Structure formats: structure tokens, C-alpha cells
Structure 1
Amino acid sequence: MNTFLKNMEMPSAKTVMSTAASVAATAMVIRSISRDFIPKDVHHYLSTKIRRLMNSLSSQLTLVIDEFEGLNRNHIFTAAQAYLRPTISPNSKRFRVRMPTQQNKISVSMEKNEEIIDFFDGVKLQWKLVSTQTSPKYIGGPGSEFESTVMSELRYFELSFHKKHKDLVLGSYLPFVLQKAEEVKEERKTLKLFTLKYGRRIQVVGGSMWQSVNLDHPATFDTLAMDEEVHKTIVEDLERFVRRKEYYRKVGKAWKRGYLLFGPPGTGKSSLVAAMANYLNFDIYDLELSEIRSNSQLRTLMMSTANRSILVVEDIDCSIDLQNRLANARAAGPRAFNPPKTEVTLSGLLNFIDGLWSSCGDERIIVFTTNHKERLDSALLRPGRMDVHIHMSFCTPCGFKILASNYLGIIEHTLFFDIEKLIATMKVTPAEIGEQLLKNEEPEGALRDLLEFLERKNRAIEEAASKSES
């Protein structure tokens, strides 16, 4: 045996290279002959069989997750993008960094043809983003069937793992990816304020009907000048709403909630809407009914709003009054007035609040604001449409203390007693109080200026009352 090993010589590098070159050349010749002399159908059949044989011998299984399914975006692809975005493999040589328009967070994502290794319950999983160029074509946008983008590349993820873990990946890992993707998107979300894009010239033949800006409103429930009991009631109602998805489904109701904010101007209705959006991390859609021509257009706009959002119709009494005036003018005849041919009707609006179309979307809040609740049709006010009625009152002593803390950074002062006494006996809005506190950064001076303002306003009220009596 030892003699055999001694006589045995290792092949030289030159011999190895020569043999490899010969094998490669032979393979090229066989490939060329097969293309020239074997019919295409037979060649395809043989290639398919060889691939299947190789796959059967391999222990790896690969899932292909396309970006689009027909003309619709693949939700799993989008979720995988969000899930993998914070993950950068140590072996990655390239990755993409960007900050989209109107965003305030840097986004890091996989570069095409790069790989990321993930582990789930001790199982190794390999992700690869594959991208190939393709002829340009229009694909429906994510927000609406009326939005479209031009796609010039074909992208898909390849998820590879040992085939014995197929049930784990399909039954547990992919649902985990979907869940974590939602959490990542919420964490990185930049709140948006949407409004109609074209006003009365709005069309539904293509492109987005909404335009947006970042919602940077600083209002929170801690800064709102409202009584603690009202504050607590609203927060508890919002928290109960967002955690009751299965309950709403069980009782057969659409997962939505209606709020009516009523009270005089300057009492903080718009600030409350912003505080709700900041608290829930919901986008806001500001809907101007007077800009909409028909019920069908309203339906299209409602369908293009996203889940987890707040739809706001401000001064709903004015919007309904406008439509009623148009209807009355039409009834008077064309000579009296020539109104538009169509407009949003009260019945059309109610159908989108709690009719069949109200179920198109989940986790939505509808907010109506008005300065005159008594002007609203009783059909708008019943539960199921406006579930919670919140009176935005004039400033109270409790509200004043919150404003003093916000504007001046103080919670007690010797002038508080006199100011609170006047506020409790007169009608003054939080906006008026805030405007006075803005004029002086020094607490003592600001409070004295506010006290003088309240005394002047109180005297004016008393004089007006005495004149009316006489």
C-alpha cells in the first residue's frame, strides 16, 4: 500500500487546466450540435427533464414572489420590501439609500441582484431581489384604479430554503413577514394631509385625484385646551375603536367611526382633528363637498382613500346648505338660475357614511365639523353615522391652565385666580386666549396683558347688554 502511494503522483496544475478546458470545449460542441440538429421541441423537452432531475436531486426550494400579479401589485412583494428594508447583510456590496419627496426619513433598501440572509426559528432563509429590463407598460397605482405608473423593469424576489421547511415558511414565516412589514411601515410613516387635486376641474379618467403635503401639525391631546374629562373620553373611544376589528366583523358593522365636532369658531376643532391623526398615526383626507359634482364622483373619491385614515368634512352645514340652494334654484326654473347639472345629495352622502359603500375600507374615521349643529339634518346625527358628538366649548379655567403651560411654561401664578374668574363668567375662545399669550414671552407681562384684554371684553359685553335692555 505504501509503495502504491509513493508511486502515485499528483497531477500538475497544467494538466488540471488542460482537462478543464477540454471538458468545457466538449460541452460547447455538444450544446452547438444539439441546437443545430435536435428539433426545438425535443431540445425544450430534454432541457425541462434535465432541470427537473437536477431540482429533484437538490435539497433547496425556491419561492418566486413577483412584484405584480397581472395589473395588480403583489401584496407579499410589497411586504417583503418593507420587511427587508432595515436589514443589510454583512455580505452586501451595494444597497440603495434614498429620501423620497415629501418624506423626512432616510430609506435603505436592497439593490437588485443582491442577497440577504434571514433566520426564522433557527431556519436559514435566503432572499434575492432579481430585476430584468422589459418593454414599458402602464400598471395600476397602489392607491386607486385610476392611478397608473409606467413600468420598464420586471422585479421579483427569490426566497430559497431547505425544502423540508416548506410548511414552516408558508404557514408561519410569510405571515410573520406580512405582520412585521405593517409594523415597519407604521414606524417609518410620514403623516400626510390630502386634498382634492383639481377642484371643480377634477376628472376621473387617469392620475391621482388627491394631492398631499406632509402633516406637520404639532397638536397633541396634551396641548389641547379642553377639559380633562372630555380629553379622557375621546382617547378611550379612539383606543377602543382601533383594537376592535374582529368585534366589528362579528356584529356585522363596517370598521369605521363617526365624530361630529360642533361649537363656535376658534374652539379648536381643526386642532382636535390633527391631534387625533398624530395619536393614531392616521393620514387626513380633507374633503371639500362643494368641489364635487356628483354622487358618483364622491364614491370614486371615497374608494381612493387609504385605510387607517381620517376623512374630514369641515363646515358640513355650509356644504349641505349650498347643495340645497342649488336644488331650490333649479326648482325655480332655468330663468331664475342656471346651476350645475349635478351635485352631491344628502342621500348620496349618507350612503357613503353608513350604506353599502361605507364598507369599502377598514379602520377609517369620519369627522364632520360645524359651527351650527342645529342646522344639520337629523338623518346625519343619528348613531351609526355620527357616533360621537363632541361639543367644542368656549375656554374654561382648565383650558386656560393648559394654554398657560403650553405658551408660557408655567402651571401656577398669582394672576391665575383673577383670569380664571373672568373666563368662567364670559365667552372667550381658546384661540383668543392663545393670541394674547403669544404677544409677550415673559409670563408676568403676558398674563397682565391677558387680564386687561379680558376686562375690556367683559366691559364691552356688559355695555352691549345694558344697551339692549334699555
Structure 2
Amino acid sequence: MPSNIQIPSTKAIISAAASVTATAMLIRSFANDIIPQEFRHFFFTKVHQLFTAFSNEVILAIDEFDGLGQNQLFKAAEVYLGSILSPSTKRLRATLPQKEKKINVYMESNEELTQQFNGIQLKWRMVCKQIQPRYVTMPGDYNSTMISEHRYYELIFHKKHKEMVIGEYLPYVLERSKAVEVEKKTLKLFMLGNDRMMGHRGNPWQSVNLDHPATFDTLAMDTDDKKIIINDLENFVRRKELYRKVGKAWKRGYLLFGPPGTGKSSLIAAIANYLKFDIYDLELTDIRTNSDLRRYLISTANQSILVVEDIDCSIELTNNRPKASRAPMHPHQYGQENRVTLSGLLNFIDGLWSSCGDERIIVFTTNHKDKLDPALLRPGRMDVHIYMSYCTPCGFKLLASNYLGITDHPLFLVVEQLMKVTKVTPAEVGEQLLKNGEPETALEGLIEFLEEKKKNVEFENHKSNQQAPEAAVPLELEEEGGNEGETNVISLEAIKDLVKMNKVSPDEVQVIKKDEADIILRGLIQLLLEKKETQVLKIDSGSSAEKLSLT
């Protein structure tokens, strides 16, 4: 029996589909023009909730921005996911930030990544949508930046694992992201920029890459001293909860003092390389007021080292604190006198402002510790005092190993003996070893340098003794036949006249040191007795150059 059903032609099907599509587009255009956006958003939200009500999945959204500021959890998720990308991820995003050395790889928009954590399955999805342009504030920048897209991560998991994800997984992501950032971190050396002098807003610090090669292995210090410093640093970084428990700001103060050229700057660089901390080099003479000082210091990042070199030359650090003076009408006028005070510095180091930041190390250096105010040196401000000494035999051996690649040599003993009687800095030793790569020649050059330095020191001491004032040592003279106990105090000038009177040649009178006064004066007395027998000299037992008896 033949069928009466007629199958429409292909042309009719295409025509009908086009008509339906055009109608749908017209309805959509009409809805967008007539129906408010809020109502459409509410409608689609309810429809989405209707379909998801029967689902066991929970979607946790992590937006790039929280209000007008950046969401730190988004940044942590971005770094973490970049470290666990699977081979199945097809679209990636690679960046090389300015002044960085390592390429960062991230998951591109609308890509998904699946992960297992403690037996549960998690799915990450990167979502990016175009939005109306708006301004947000980036970290460390007071100026606003315009964005035109809404980026966020969706973390999808079963609803029965909600507590584990929020309580365990997300903290794990934060910790892992910090570890990844430390591994990829390029250390920076920050200094105050010139824009701050013109009143520009934004971060007052500008940076360069810190490529200093110093490590604890290359420092010319005694091994025991280096171990003490390393143990103190490790105890500091792992005691965050202890600092919080006892009510102390999580910071540590180090004072490095000693002669120039003993490695204070190299030790700071070694600490930065060991802890992976950035360095902020603060020049106090460039800061006008205590308020400016506070503003610059609170803009430093956590896990950093604040360095003030030659603190005794940077600010007036005396026991007599200057009294507060009336502030000028225009505090930022050109040529204004530096008004950063010791009190302002102490308030940040140990006052309320010291808690504005975590895991910070403050380092002061000086060549003259005795010039510093005791208030600056007490524990809680400068917790560890490290004396950077002249080069020691242990330090020399390390320098010889670093520069010449040797750990022993017959000339080592000669060098070490000379170092015991000659003060020489590690910088001077390193410079001599750098002159020649052949160990024998380099060590001979170092020995020659030490011997010459020893001769120069002895010559300067001899010259200083010759120029010492002769009238500084009084003598007690008791004339023969005088009353018992009566003495006349005379000076070295009197002895000089006595020597001239008895015609003693200069060669017969040697230049003496104070600690050899008794011996030399005995010789001088004997000499005068030989020249003139009318006087008798007697030195009391235990007398010093300060007091002699002459009868």
C-alpha cells in the first residue's frame, strides 16, 4: 500500500531552518532591547540553578580581583597550576616579566586541568569574559590600571568534599605556590627612586637584579662563625608561630662592625642568596623627614633585608637626642636640612611600626661601633652583633681555595705567620691572589705584600714615637743634702737639658716605648752616672715612666 507521506525537499528544509534561525535572532534582539539586563541575568541564573540542583558538583570561583584590589588566591592558583600542567593541556600562556630570568608558563583561558588530591578528584577551569573597561589597583602601585576582561578560575569538585577542599586543599595550594615562586625568584636590589623627589605617586622603590655571587661557601670567615650565623638565620625563618606566641614582630636585627674591607657587604649578599630575600638599600641621608622614612619602610615587601650601611655616618646617633623643633611651613622645600632622627628610626625598628610586615631582616653596618647610641644596640633592635675581623688563617685558606684552587702549599705557613703580626683585610688578600693564577707566584706576591705592609707599620710606629711630646712624663727629683721626703718634679725636658749638659750624643739615647720605660731609664741613669758623678739616681721598685725618684 503506497504511503501518502511526502518527504520535504532539501531546499525546503534549509529554507525552514533559515526562517527559524532568523526568528530566533529577531526574538533575541528584541529581548536584548526590551528586557532589562538585570532581568535576563536573573532568568538565566534561575535556569542554571534548576539544572544544577540535581547535580552533586560544587563550583568554587576564584576571581582575579577582589573589589579594586588583586586577589592573592588567584595569583597563587595561577602559579601552582603552572607547575602541574599535564601533557594533555593544549593551550598554554608563557610570559617573561621585565628584569626576570625565568619563563613563566600558565594555563590559557577556557582550558581544563584534572588533579587528584588525597583520593578526591578536582577539576580546574580557566574562564575569561569580556567586560566593560574599569580601573583596578595593582599591588605595590598607587596608580590605577584599566582592565577589559573578567578572568577567574573555577574549581569543580563533589559537594561531599567541600570541607576538605576549603580547609586542606586551598592552604596546600598557597604553600606550594610560595615554594614555586621562591624557586623561580630573581633576587632584586631595591633603592629609592628619583620620582619620589617630584611628588610622584606609586612605589618609591626601583630595582635592579641582584647578581652578587657571594655565598657562605665563598666568605672568608672562620667556619664556626659561619655556622653560628646560618643557624641563627634558620631559627629565625622557621619560628613564625613562636614570635607570634611571645608577642614579638617577626624580624631580626644584625649589626656588622669592623674595619673597611672585611666583607660586610659580601656577608649581606650571602644572607640574601641563602634565604632568597630581596635587599632594600636605604640611604638615610636622602630622606627628609621621619614621616617619609615610615612611608618608604612600610612599602617594602615581606621576606626582605633592609640594609643601612655606615649607620654612624648616615644620621646623628649620639646619646644626646635632639629636641623636637617646629616644622617648617613647607617641609619639602629644596635644600631643607635632613630631619630624620634617631627616635624616628627606632620607632620603626622596635616600635608599633615594626609589626608592619613579616619575615624581615634589618642590617646595620659601621666601621666604628663605639660611635653608635647604646639605644640602637640593645636586643630587640640589633639582636646579633657580628665583628668582621681582619683576615685569619682560616679565611686565608678559603681565599686560596677560591682564587687558586689549592687547599695546601708549603708557603701557607709563611703567610699565616705574617698574618699573626700584620693586619690585612680579606679584600687585600683577594686582590693579591687575583694578580696571578699560578699558585706559587701568587703566594710569593702575597708574602712580599705582607712583609712590605709590616715594614710600613713599623716605620709609622717609629715615626709616631719620635713625634710624641717629650714633656708628658714627670719625674721626681730629690736634691742631695735636702730635707728627707722633699722632691722637685721635673719633666723629660729636664732630662734633655741634663743630657745636653753632660754632652751625651743622640746615638747614645735611643727612642723608647712607654712599656719599656723602666729599662730604658735605667740605662739612661747609668749613662748619666758615667758622665757626671755628682748625682746619684735611684728608681723605686715597681716605678713606671710616670713617676721616678732622683737623689
- 1:90 aligns to what? 87
Q: Which runs of 5+ in 2 are unaligned?
A: 1-6, 327-333, 467-551
Q: Partners in 2 of 1:464 and 1:45 — Cα distance?
A: 92
SS of residue matched to 1:321: coil
Contact 2:319 2:373 (8 Å CA) reproduced: no
Letter in 1 for 2:168: S
Q: 1:456 to 1:36 in 2, by over 3 A?
A: closer
Tell me whether 1:276 sits opposite 2:271 in the alignment: yes
1:29 Cα deviation from its structure 2 partner: 8.5
Q: Partners in 2 of 1:255 and 1:142 — Cα distance?
A: 22
Contact 1:394 1:430 (8 Å CA) reproduced: yes
SS of residue matched to 1:410: coil
For structure 1, which segment, 31-40 or 412-421, has the greater mean C-alpha deviation from structure 2 after superposition?
Answer: 31-40
Match of 1:59 among 37, 52, 56: 56
- 2:449 aligns to what? 453
Tell me whether 1:412 sits opposite 2:424 in the alignment: no
- 2:181 aligns to what? 185
Match of 2:359 among 346, 359, 363: 363
- 1:125 aligns to what? 122
Q: 1:456 to 1:43 in 2, by over 3 A?
A: closer
Contact 1:203 1:209 (8 Å CA) reproduced: no
Deviations along 1:48-101, whole A, 9 cap, x unmatched?
432221120223221111111112211110110110112323333221122222
Q: 1:376 to 1:43 in 2, by over 3 A?
A: closer
For structure 1, which segment, 43-52 or 284-293, has the greater mean C-alpha deviation from structure 2 after superposition?
Answer: 43-52
- 1:3 aligns to what? none
Q: Partners in 2 of 1:32 and 1:432 — Cα distance?
A: 82
- 1:376 aligns to what? 372
For structure 1, which segment, 272-281 or 44-53, has the greater mean C-alpha deviation from structure 2 after superposition?
Answer: 44-53
Contact 1:194 1:284 (8 Å CA) reproduced: yes
> What does 1:215-364 align with in structure 2 at a 5 Å threshold?
215-321=210-316, 340=336, 343-364=339-360
Contact 1:323 1:343 (8 Å CA) reproduced: no
| Two-structure CA RMSD over aligned residues (Å) | 3.2
Tell me whether 1:109 sits opposite 2:102 in the alignment: no
Match of 1:79 among 59, 71, 76: 76
- 1:5 aligns to what? none
Deviations along 1:282-333, whole A, 9 cap, x unmatched?
11110111111111111111111111110000010001139999x79x99xx
Contact 2:77 2:173 (8 Å CA) reproduced: yes
Letter in 2 for 1:378: P
TM-score, normalization: structure 2?
0.75
Q: Which runs of 5+ in 1 are unaligned?
A: 1-10, 332-337
SS of residue matched to 1:279: helix
Contact 2:429 2:446 (8 Å CA) reproduced: yes
Deviations along 1:378-400, whole A, 9 cap, x unmatched?
11111100000000011111111
- 1:160 aligns to what? 156
- 1:436 aligns to what? 432
Q: Partners in 2 of 1:358 and 1:266 — Cα distance?
A: 31
Contact 2:140 2:202 (8 Å CA) reproduced: no
1:35 Cα deviation from its structure 2 partner: 3.4
Letter in 2 for 1:119: Q
Q: 1:134 to 1:428 in 2, by over 3 A?
A: same
SS of residue matched to 1:57: coil
SS of residue matched to 1:264: coil
Contact 2:316 2:342 (8 Å CA) reproduced: no
Q: 1:42 to 1:185 in 2, by over 3 A?
A: closer
Letter in 2 for 1:243: R
- 2:205 aligns to what? 210
Whose relative contact order is higher, 1 or 2, with alpha carbons under 8 Å and at least 6 apart? 1
Q: Partners in 2 of 1:46 and 1:451 — Cα distance?
A: 90
- 2:464 aligns to what? 468
For structure 1, which segment, 27-36 or 219-228, has the greater mean C-alpha deviation from structure 2 after superposition?
Answer: 27-36
1:151 Cα deviation from its structure 2 partner: 2.8
Q: Partners in 1 of 2:460 and 2:366 — Cα distance?
A: 27
Q: Partners in 2 of 1:140 and 1:26 — Cα distance?
A: 44
Q: Partners in 1 of 2:287 and 2:132 — Cα distance?
A: 38
The alignment of Structure 1 onto Structure 2 pairs a total of residues equal to 450
Contact 2:391 2:423 (8 Å CA) reproduced: yes
Q: 1:272 to 1:82 in 2, by over 3 A?
A: same
Contact 1:130 1:157 (8 Å CA) reproduced: yes
Contact 2:287 2:338 (8 Å CA) reproduced: no
Q: 1:363 to 1:422 in 2, by over 3 A?
A: same
Q: 1:279 to 1:48 in 2, by over 3 A?
A: closer
For structure 1, which segment, 434-443 or 91-100, has the greater mean C-alpha deviation from structure 2 after superposition?
Answer: 91-100
Q: Which has the larger radius of gyration?
A: 2
1:32 Cα deviation from its structure 2 partner: 5.2
Letter in 1 for 2:219: L
For structure 1, which segment, 134-143 or 112-121, has the greater mean C-alpha deviation from structure 2 after superposition?
Answer: 134-143
Q: 1:137 to 1:209 in 2, by over 3 A?
A: farther
TM-score, normalization: structure 1?
0.87
Letter in 2 for 1:319: S
- 2:529 aligns to what? none
- 1:196 aligns to what? 192
SS of residue matched to 1:52: helix
Q: Partners in 2 of 1:323 and 1:84 — Cα distance?
A: 54
- 2:501 aligns to what? none
Q: Partners in 2 of 1:165 and 1:267 — Cα distance?
A: 58
Contact 1:266 1:430 (8 Å CA) reproduced: yes
Deviations along 1:4-57, whole A, 9 cap, x unmatched?
xxxxxxx9xx9xx99x96997699399659939996587665544322211202
For structure 1, which segment, 243-252 or 59-68, has the greater mean C-alpha deviation from structure 2 after superposition?
Answer: 59-68
User: Identical aligned pairs, as a percentage?
Assistant: 59
